[in-house]
Structures are given as C-alpha cells and as structure tokens.
Structure 1
Amino acid sequence: MIKLNFDIKKHNLENGLKVLTIKKDTQIAAINIGVNVGAMYENMDEKGISHFIEHMLFKGTKNRTNEELNDELESLGGEYNAYTDYDSTVYTISCLEEEIENGVKLLGDMIVNSNFPEEEIVKERNVILAEIRTSKDDIEDLSFKRTNEVAFKKSYLKYDVIGFEENVNNFTRDDLVKFYKKYYAPNNSVITIVTSLEHEEALKLVESSFCNWNKGSIEKKDIIKEKNIKTVETTFKNEIEQSTIVYLYTFNDLDKEDELPLRILNNRIGESSNSLLFKEIREKRGFAYDIFTHLDITKDAKSLYIYTSVSDEDVSDTKKAIDKVLKDVVNKKVVFGDKDLNIMKKVHKTAVIGTLEDSADLCNYILHQELAGENNLEFVSDMNKLNTIKPEKLYSVAKEVLKDPTIHILRRTSGEEDE
C-alpha cells in the first residue's frame, strides 16, 4: 500500500477553467496547463498549427515582449517547457516554491494574452521547418513516422504532430490567431499546481491570473479510431549505417481492466534492459545495440511499438527472432513465474513512487489523468491490483494485443532517397 504525501482538491472557476490544487510538502513547486487541442483536431490544411501555436506562446504577450517574457521565465531559476501531442498541448513550469507566484503570473500572461508578433512568426516558421528537416535525418524518428504512414488510412496517427512543410510555410498570423481563439479557452483547459501552499492560497494565485480569460464555444471533431493495417513494408533512405525494424500493434478495444496487466507485460517483453527481446536480440544473438518497446494508452489511441536498428544483412534474422519471442509469449512457451511477476510489479511500483516524489512529474500525471477524464488516483488502485495479477491474465492480454502487426523496415538504398 502506498502512503500518499499529498492531497488534491478540484475547483471550477466561473469561466469554466478546471483547477486541481495539489498540496505537497515540497520546496519545488510546479504548475501545468493543458489545453484540449492537438494534432487529432486539425484538418489536413491545419496539420502542424497546434505545434506552431505552442512555439508562438513564448514569443511575446500584450504585456511583455519576447525578450522580457523569456528573461522573466529564465529568472525563475527552474524549468519551463511545452509540448504538443495528438490530444493536447501542455505548458509547464517548475521552480522554487518561493517563485511559484511569479511562475503562475507568467504562465497566465502567455496563455491569455499572447499577441503573435508578425516578426516572431517569420523567425519561428524557419525554426519549425528546420525541426521538420532535422527529423528526416533521425532514423529512429523517421522510422516511427513511416510506420504510422503505412499503418493507417484515415487515422490522425498517420500524420506527425509537427505537420507538413507546405502548411508551415503557408500559415498566416490570421490562421494562427483564429485557431488559438477557437481552442484556447478556459472551458477547454485544465490547470494542475503542486505547492506547499494551502489549497485556498494556491487557488487564489491561479484565479488572479486566469479569471479574466473568456469562455469559448468549443466544437470538437469526431475522432476516427482505426486498427492498424496488417502488412510488412520496406522503404529506403540513402546514407544510413543501420537498417531499422518497427512493429506496431493497436488495441483500441482493450478493456480498461486489462491495461495494467499490459503495462506489466510490456515491461517484461521490451521495456527493461532485462527484457525478453533485449536478451534475445542483443545478448544472445548480438544483432543490435538496443531494442525497446513503447506503449501508449490514451482515451483515443492505444498502441504498442517495438523498435530496433541492425546491420542490413541481419534484418531477416532479427525479424525472425522477434517473431519467435512474441509467438512464444502468446503460446505460453515463455513461463511467467512468481519471480518474474514480483520483479515486474516492483518495477511498476518504483515508477509510480518516482512520479509521486517528483513535483513536476506528479503535476504532469494528474494533469493528463484529468484531461482524459480518468481517476486522478488511479495509480493507488493499480498498486492494490498488482498483487492480484496472475500469469494467465498476462497470456490472455498478450494473445489479444500481439496479433496482426504493421511491420516497417527502413533500409539503405544506393538510389535516390525515397521520401
């Protein structure tokens, strides 16, 4: 049983903004705001606009120039960042407890009063275009993108969050402001704040900076949930030293109660340095420096990826070895004994406790639970469920998830680069 060292209170401001104050005995405070908009809500001609706007919110407000805003953020002495995902855009600040009031004020000014200076749009356009082009030279990043491209026909997952070069080149200030005003509204957002302040004090800080934010009229698009296409596809790129192999499984119909067993199973298959895939592909066969899995479970998309990079001559044998490991798990040839289960449970427990101990991680976790409409203390019930998970449940989940993958192989070619 985990002993909680914090407590949470939920509040709703008159303008519809959800605020979760998390009182914790800490010297490092954190505040996050998540806006319920990301790449999944964009039309084809809008692909990349959420990410562009995320960049622009650091480029000046009605009250502060670009230089003033970033100087004051830097003066907090902590960390500030932002990221755009498919379902949300998140802005984060973590700092000394004594700086949290300034942090809230700066975040409020960014979110409510950004003014999108034309000269900064020109600069940031070039930055984002450079980011897009750089990603093409990162074979890991490129491999995941190409896997998604061949795995789906209509799903938003087919397209990268960063968007298309053509769109980024064409976005005008009016386009950015219109999209910003449409989705950046208090009734489409959640704030989480971790601080040692009393709940009422923390709430007052947030209210003072966000109470004048005007409620919006939000219309969300219907989200297409698509099963990945079962296929093996190969594409090519010039001047790469290693070939890559990516497996993708989607499981949108997986029961909620099976998500925790899947997390435990994922750790055993490929998330740790003692995983089945790591031991087979690296330690036993020496095909790769690394092989890992990436599990993503959200409300609108559930996916599991396997990634490795190997010498071109080892691609076929590596794929056969991966297939065998996965087949042996599904067919129960891999035995999950008490020792294995105990290790997997300890790893999960360590990750949970690590999140609870770190103010920034806790702030981010609670934010995403609230954005997804999930139980904020789900990890507590998960910890209680850990001891009830039996090997048979892991096998049944493996059988449901590890089937009909999209497999993408990126290989070197002597011809023109395939884009």
Structure 2
Amino acid sequence: MKKYFDSRDTILENGLRIISIKKETRIASINIGFKIGSIYEKENEKGICHFIEHMLFKGTVKRTNDELNDELEQIGGEYNAYTDYISTVYSITALCEEVENSIEILSDMTRNSVFDEKELDRERGVILAEIRGSKDDIEDYSFERINQMAFKKSALKFDTVGEESTVKNFKQENLKEFYEKNYVPNNCSIVVVSSLDHEKIIELVEKYFANWKRKKLENREFIIEDNSPIKKVTIKKDIEQSTIMYLYTFYNLPKEMELILKILNHRFGESANSILFRELREKRGLAYDVYTNMDLTKGVKTLYIYTAVAKKDVDKTLKIIDRCIEDIKKEKIVFDNRAIDLMKKILKTSVAATIEDSEALCSYILGQALCDEDIFEFEKDISDLQNIDKKDLYDVARRVFIKPTVHVLVSEDEDL
C-alpha cells in the first residue's frame, strides 16, 4: 500500500509487532507502546502504569539514571513518554542516522529497568506533587470531578496519574511484578517512521528485541459504563472563575457514525470558530476558554464541553449551552453545503498534516495498532466524507447529545 506511504507490518516469533513506515524524511520517529493503561488497572493499582512510565527513565541493568538520560539527550532529538487509558508509550524523534541508537536505548529501558528503591521513592514524591498540583488547577480539577460524578464502576472515574492513597503504598515489588507481567513483547507494538528500508528497520528491531521472551498475558478486562445523567455543584475555596462541564458517552454509536461525529464536534466546539466559541466568547464575551474534547478510543468514547466564566454568568452560560445543543438537534442551526464542505476540507487538511509529519504519523499508527484498528482507516474516512450530508450531522447529534453529566465548580462565596 503506497498511495499515502509505504508500510510493512511484521510480527516476530515472540509476538512483538513491528510497523515500518518508509517515507522521504530526514527525521525519524520511533514509538514503542504497550497495551496497558489506567483502564486496565485494578482498584489497588490506580496509577501503577503511570508510575512505571516514570521509572523506566530511572536506570537499567546497563545504565544508571544519569547515564540513561545523558544518552537520550545526546541523540539530539526529542524523547518523551505518556500513559493514557489504554496504553503506555515511549517515543524518540531524531535524525534518521540516530535510528539504531534510539532503538537500542528504548530496548534497554523497556526490557531492563531496575526500579531502584531510592529512585522509586524520589519519583513517588514527584508523582504526588503532580496529583496535588492538578487539584490547584481548576481545569484539571473540573475534569477530575466530573469523571468521579459520571461513573460508579468504570476506571474512567480515576485519573491516569493515580490516587494519593495507592501511589503512597506502591512498593518496589508491586511495580516489578506488574511490569514483568504486562510489559512483554506479545503486548507491545513498535512503529518506526524513517527513510530507511523496511528490511533494515526489521533487522535493527530484531537485533535488540528478538531474544525478549513472550509470556502468557493475564486477561485484564475493563468495565464499560454510560455516564450518569446528573448535575452537581462543587464549592472550592480561592478560585476567581467558575467552570462548567458537560460529559457525554456514546458506546452505542455505530463505528461508521464516528466520522460524522468528528465533523460535528469540530463545528460544535473544537474549532476557534465553533458554535460554542461564537456564542459564548464572540457574541457575549462570557468566556475566554470554551472547547470540546472528544476521545474515540475503544473503551473510552467520551465527549466533554468545558468553559470558565464569571460567577454571575453561570446560569446564563448553562442556558446558552443547552440552547445550542437543542438548536442543533431540532435543526434550527443550519448546516448548509458550504459549511459542510468546509468541515470536510478541515478534516482532510488534518489527515494530510499527520501524514506529512513523521512524529504525528508515528503516533497515529501506534494508536491504531494498539486498538487493533486499520492503520489506513483515514483513507476510508476520506472516501466516506463525500457521502456525509446535513441529515447525518443532525442524526448523530440526536444520538450523542442526550442525558449529560453536568458539573459546575464555584467559589465558596457564590450564590447560584
């Protein structure tokens, strides 16, 4: 398949999946991802994937903490890691000439980390500071509160960084046991975007990963739960603005309608010229920040609305958001052909930008691989765009914008 890029998909005997993307570029990007994230954690494990993500930078059998981070720096590019609901990912983006060094270092980190107890205790402090810091940020805190309200059993009610109680209690053996069970080749995918031939990439990955032993994976299931359709107010000291959040889940939305939802979401709240942005900021000057945040990941399927306003404007803002949603569902907001064509063009532009950028392309392909989705799904999306019309947008709005969880965060001296 070479219409957009030249790819090769290989699975080694130990179960490790390698996806090599060959394109004209001087910048290579390497992502290694494990299909283990916070959605798979048990009650007493909350935050363990995120903790392990931090610890893999803290030294290996071969390298001390300082040596590891110095060698990462010497590659001369960018290195990073993140944990989300379904995965833990490590990445390096650098010149193509650094591909082998990058693969070797990532191999050492992901296979040979030692979880030194002194480093573990230091990093525990860092993570606890991260958890506490999120409570001081009203945006982070608002997301945390609405998730706690919306879900009773789903892991989505917990933040990926974990809970203070669990992070404080993790011991070296807890992290090592979890790591050894889940950070294994048959739970891992590696994506490399570079100008190197596929054969060379496979040869390099085999050199540093082929003797990694596969293990039997524990069956970790997660709970799918619709959001609770409730409204609550939280009172917090020492805040200047109030925040308003809505949360919708859409697990029952057919896969083929997710593309339509992407287009609707862009027009509704994702862009700087969205319906919500124009109503709340441009027309009335009620808010500086107003946006939607959507996650189409398998097992997640969430759409949030977020804004921050003055305390006196909370009721007015809630009414405007509700009215915007109802006006779409009742087709009072008109999506004409010009608007729909623009939304389609924006989506095509986003796809093109992803394909052109080695780092973005690598991240996209890894995400698709970890969710067992087609890496060329975007090609089908581009084809399907031609058949979407305004009726589809109204239909998906009526399916998704129902029974929200609504949370309002206000200062303790506010009267609502």
Please confirm whether the aligned pair reaches a TM-score higher than 0.5, indicating the same fold.
yes
| Residue in structure 2 matched with residue 46 of structure 1 by the alignment | 45
Corresponding residue for residue 88 of structure 2:
89
Aligned to 2:209: 210
What's the counterpart of residue 56 of structure 1?
Answer: 55
Verify the 8 A CA contact 1:33 1:90 in the aligned structure 2.
Answer: yes
Tell me, what secondary structure is at the counterpart of 2:265?
helix
Name the residue aligned to 2:147: 148
C-alpha distance in structure 1 between counterparts of 2:412 and 2:211, whole Å:
57
- How many angstroms apart in 2 are the aligned matches of 1:42 and 1:6? 36
Equivalent-residue separation in structure 2 for 1:136 and 1:114 (angstroms): 31
> In structure 2, how many angstroms separate the alpha carbons of the residues matched to 1:4 and 1:268?
29
Structure 2 match to 1:112:
111
Task: Tell me which residue corresponds to 2:277.
Answer: 278
Q: SS in structure 1 opposite 2:30?
A: strand
Supply the AA of the counterpart residue of 2:371: A
Distance apart, 1:99 and its partner CA:
0.8
Confirm or deny: 8 A CA contact 1:151 1:406 kept in the other structure.
yes
Is residue 2:122 matched to residue 1:130? no
Distance 1:216 1:360 in 2: 30
Q: Shift in Å at residue 5 of structure 1?
A: 4.6
> What residue identity is the alignment partner of 2:16?
L
Contact 1:6-1:25 within 8 A present in 2 as well: no
Q: 1:267-416 counterparts in 2 under 5 A?
A: 267-414=266-413
Partner SS, residue 60 of structure 1 = coil
Q: Which residue of 2 aligns with 1:28?
A: 27
Q: Residue deviations 1:361-389, cap 9 Å, x none? A: 10010011011111110001111111110
Looking at structure 1, the residues matched to 29 and 312 of structure 2 have their Cα atoms a distance apart, in angstroms, of 49
Q: Distance in 2 between matches of 1:414 and 1:310?
A: 15
| 1:60 counterpart letter in structure 2 | G
Deviation at 1:219, TM superposition (A): 1.5
Alignment partners' CA distance in 2, 1:4 and 1:311? 51
Please give the per-residue CA displacement for 1:248-283, whole angstroms capped at 9, x wherever unaligned.
000101101100000000000000111000000111
Provide Cα deviations, 1:161-189, integer angstroms capped at 9, x if missing partner: 11111111111100100000010000011
- Match of 1:146, SS state, is helix
Q: Can you list the C-alpha shifts for 1:5-55, whole angstroms capped at 9, x where unaligned?
A: 521111011111011011111000011011011111111111011100000
Give 2:386's aligned amino acid: N
Following superposition, the deviation at residue 221 of structure 1 comes to 2.2
Q: How does 1:138-177 map to 2 (within 5 A)?
A: 138-177=137-176
Q: Residue in 1 aligned with 2:262?
A: 263
Q: Distance in 2 between matches of 1:301 and 1:166?
A: 25
C-alpha distance in 2 between matches for 1:290 and 1:114 = 41
Q: Partner of 1:221 in structure 2?
A: 220
Aligned to 2:179: 180
* CA distance, structure 2, for counterparts of residue 45 and residue 226 of structure 1: 20
Corresponding residue SS for 2:234: strand
SS in 1 for 2:20: strand
- 2:26 is equivalent to residue 6 of structure 1: no
- Residue 221 of structure 1: SS of its match in structure 2? coil
Measured in 2, the distance between the counterparts of 1:400 and 1:337 equals 20
> Match for 2:363: what amino acid?
N
The question of whether the paired residues in 2 share the 8 Å contact of 1:183 and 1:218 is answered with yes
Cα deviation digits, residues 293-334 of structure 1 (max 9, x gap): 011101112111000000011000000000000100000001
Q: How many corresponding residue pairs?
A: 414
Mapped to 1, the partners of 2:130 and 2:306 lie a distance apart of 22
Structure 2 residue matching 1:245: 3-state secondary structure: strand
Distance 1:376 1:156 in 2: 27
Q: What amino acid is aligned across from residue 111 of structure 2 in structure 1?
A: V
Aligned-pair identity (%): 54
Superposition deviation, residue 414 in structure 1: 4.4
Q: Please, which runs of 5 or more residues in structure 1 have no aligned partner?
A: none
Cross-structure match for 1:191? 190
AA in 1 matched with 2:148: E
Partners of 2:199 and 2:333 in 1: how far apart? Answer: 53
Residue 231 of structure 2 is matched in structure 1 by 232
Distance in 2 (alpha carbons) for counterparts of 1:91 and 1:236: 38
- 3-state SS in 2 of match to 1:346: helix
Q: Any stretches of 5+ residues in structure 2 without a counterpart?
A: none
CA distance in 1, matches of 2:265, 2:3: 26
1:222 CA drift (Å): 2.2
1:81–1:92 CA contact under 8 A, matched in 2: yes
- CA distance in 1 between counterparts of 2:213 and 2:137 reads 41
The alignment's C-alpha RMSD in Å is: 1.2
SS in 1 for 2:13: coil
Distance 1:347 1:353 in 2: 10
Give me the whole-angstrom Cα distance separating, in 1, the residues matched to 2:302 and 2:123.
32
Deviation by residue 1:166-222 (Cα, 9 ceiling, x = unmatched) = 111111100100000010000011110011111000111111111121111112222
Secondary structure in structure 2 of the residue aligned to 1:373: coil
Q: CA deviation at 1:86?
A: 1.0
